Amino acid sequence: MLGPPGATQSAQGRTALPVTTGNPPSATFPWERPLTSTTPPTSTSLSLPAPVPYPFNEQGDGLGLHAAYADAREGAGMVRVRLPHGEPAWLATRYEDARFVLGDLRFSRAMALENDEPRYNAARSKPSILSMDPPDHTRLRTLVSRAFTRHQVEGLRPWVRELTSGLLDEMVAAGSPADLVENFALPLPVQVICELLGVPASDRGQFRVWSDALLSTTRLTEDELKENQDQLTGYLAGYVAERRADPRDDLMSGLIEARDAKDRLSEEELVSLCVAILVAGHETTASQIPNFVWTLLEQPEEWQRLVDDPELVPGAVEELMRYIPLGAGAAFPRYAKEDVEVGGVLVRRGEAVVVSLGSANRDPARFDEPETLRFDRPANQHLGFGHGVHHCLGAQLARMELQEALRALVTKVPGLRIAGEPEWKRQMLVRAPRVLPVGW
């Protein structure tokens, strides 16, 4: 049974949603807190604008970016927001401010653990590589980064090409229509990250449950979230013990060696790092593959452009990374270690800032015609992989997987089309179809 034709579906895509939550930020806030003010942080609440409810995007379908972001970019740039949990924060919406906050070492991720950090779920985040500052962060990151260099990643490309080809052959053989997520978008990154880490891809059904739980916002209770965290941690701790007894040629064995031989990683860091790699290593890529397909099939001339010339795929991947606001809202707050001026606003020591990558990536001050897909966009320094010390560790791997996935799709199933209503993820940090029926 086929769904409605593509034309009907495009209506619910990226059209900006109407402003329905709270008051949209405007240029009328009293930003003029003098930069020379000596008011201590404890009494600044009186001079700060009232925070607006955040995230702007409601839990809805599609990959739209709320109109409030454009209003904020054109207005104050830095906006006071209140997330569902934790203290209020500044929201950076402009490209320049976003890049500055992510890249400046006066902003700390570690301080989020000591504060009531702005967040989507009641549960506090656990210490991980994402909540560390240099030099602790650097120590961990250099250990793992060797597995994710371009050199290493290029070595995996032929195998990934075979994998994408094999998965599509199986999907096509089983007949149209099929769920692109279950048959292609999910198994590909899961198999890649499992291969790298050294855990069996056959457990991927279980990873999906745990990973969904760890990236959920309000879907689970605090107890349920903790239970899932503990299960995944226990699962990986089991493999760590196994690899310690019987090392192999995989990333986990390499990390264990770094832990045991050089004493550079604590056991807790080791397991938490494996959790981070497993979750971050597949959920985002598995989400971006259907997001790419959805976005391209909404603009069929762009899909056709890639079918006609697959050499455009690498540029298309960069542009789609820029264009698609993957995150449901800005996350991972940074805390100012001292007073810092950002985009004309004084962020006081101890105040939190969240950065909207999706908004920064559509900033007309940085990108010409930001609402238009342009595969040949020059110097496409998008923030899709973030920026600064927490810039995506797996960016090169993700790029290679996304390039191979897209190349395989446009060459093997050039007639791909949406064949039914997608089912969108709900209450997750990342947005994407959970189920995407496609035909060919």
- The residues of the shown chain that bind another protein, judged by CB under 8 A, are 99-100, 102-105, 134-135, 138-139, 141-142, 145-146, 149-152, 154, 379, 381, 385-389, 391-393, 395-396
Q: Read out DSSP for 88-108? A: -EEEE-SHHHHHHHHH-TTEE
Pick between residue 146 and residue 248 the one whose CB is nearest to another protein: 146
Shortest Cβ 274–another protein spacing (Å) = 20
Shortest Cβ 149–another protein spacing (Å) = 4
- Of 329, 314, 310, give the one whose Cα is nearest residue 59: 329
Q: What are phi and psi of 418, to 5 degrees?
A: -75, 130
Pick between residue 142 and residue 372 the one whose CB is nearest to another protein: 142
Shortest Cβ 98–another protein spacing (Å) = 12
Shortest Cβ 148–another protein spacing (Å) = 8
- Of 365, 339, 367, give the one whose Cα is nearest residue 353: 339
Shortest Cβ 264–another protein spacing (Å) = 13
Shortest Cβ 146–another protein spacing (Å) = 7
Pick between residue 149 and residue 304 the one whose CB is nearest to another protein: 149
Pick between residue 173 and residue 379 the one whose CB is nearest to another protein: 379
Shortest Cβ 398–another protein spacing (Å) = 11
Say which DSSP state 340 is in: E
What is the SS3 assignment for 369?
A: coil
Shortest Cβ 202–another protein spacing (Å) = 31
Pick between residue 96 and residue 423 the one whose CB is nearest to another protein: 96
Pick between residue 153 and residue 213 the one whose CB is nearest to another protein: 153
What is the SS3 assignment for 327?
A: strand
Shortest Cβ 142–another protein spacing (Å) = 5
Pick between residue 186 and residue 277 the one whose CB is nearest to another protein: 277
Q: Which residues contact 388 (CB under 8 A, 6 or more apart)?
A: 102, 103, 104
Q: What are phi and psi of 42, to 5 degrees?
A: -65, -25
Q: Which residues contact 379 (CB under 8 A, 6 or more apart)?
A: none
Looking at the DSSP bridge assignments, the partners of residue 342 are 345
Is the CA virtual torsion 332, 76, 382, 291 positive or negative?
positive
Q: How many residues does the chain have?
A: 440
Pick between residue 5 and residue 103 the one whose CB is nearest to another protein: 103
What is the SS3 assignment for 264?
A: coil
What is the token pair recorded at 437? 């029926």
Pick between residue 97 and residue 302 the one whose CB is nearest to another protein: 97
Residue whose pair of structure tokens reads 């080791």 in the numeric block: 270
Q: What's the distance, Cα to Cα, between the start and end of the chain in Å?
A: 14
- The alpha carbon of 48 is separated from its chain's Cα centroid by a whole number of angstroms, namely 30
Radius of gyration (Cα) for the chain, nearest Å?
Answer: 22
CB 95 within 8 A of CB 363: yes
Shortest Cβ 81–another protein spacing (Å) = 24
CA distance 198 to 200: 7
CA distance 88 to 66: 20
What is the token pair recorded at 339? 């007073």
Pick between residue 128 and residue 295 the one whose CB is nearest to another protein: 128
CA distance 216 to 219: 6
Shortest Cβ 147–another protein spacing (Å) = 10
Pick between residue 327 and residue 422 the one whose CB is nearest to another protein: 327
Strand 423-424 with 89-92, pairing: unpaired
Please give the single-letter amino acid code of residue 285: T
